[in-house]
Amino acid sequence: MHASHHAVASSARRQFEIPVRVYYEDTDAGGVVYYANYLRFLERARTEWLRHIGFEQQKIIDEQHLVFVVKRIEADYHAPGRLDDELRVEVAVDRLGNASLVFAQRVFRDMQVLLDARVTVVCVDIRRMKPAPIPAPMRAKLEETMKAAA
């Protein structure tokens, strides 16, 4: 699975998306995207979205000792992706908690939805391995992003 480093903000839908090309390594014996690989696509899109709004994960780890870990995923698979497909993986923040975020994510091929997912991530202090409040500057940017999408 390889995504272009060029991410696109979709202003019409107020969400963020990245393109992902399906490679042989992403498929299973049936020639379709292996179900767990969609989770990689979702992760990559969230990472690029975070970078797009001004936050790099390694810098957050190094400077604040925080990581975002997946707590829960709900996914509905609607249609298979196939070798060489150019997919779009979308990200939108659905809910902002004190130490958590819930993302609404979709994977498309052209206009067809292949997967709908809700992903809950929790901000964790890696020194204590316990939930930690989302830092104020990040929270402000997240709130601003959510307001713009409303």
> Which are the contacts of 78, defined by CB distance < 8 A and separation ≥ 6?
112, 113, 114, 115, 116
The DSSP letter of residue 67 is E
Please name the residue ranges forming H helices in 53-115: 57-64
> What is the identity of the amino acid at 7?
A
Q: Which residues are catalytic?
A: 28
What's the Rg (C-alpha) of the chain? 16
Tokens, residue 99: 């130490």
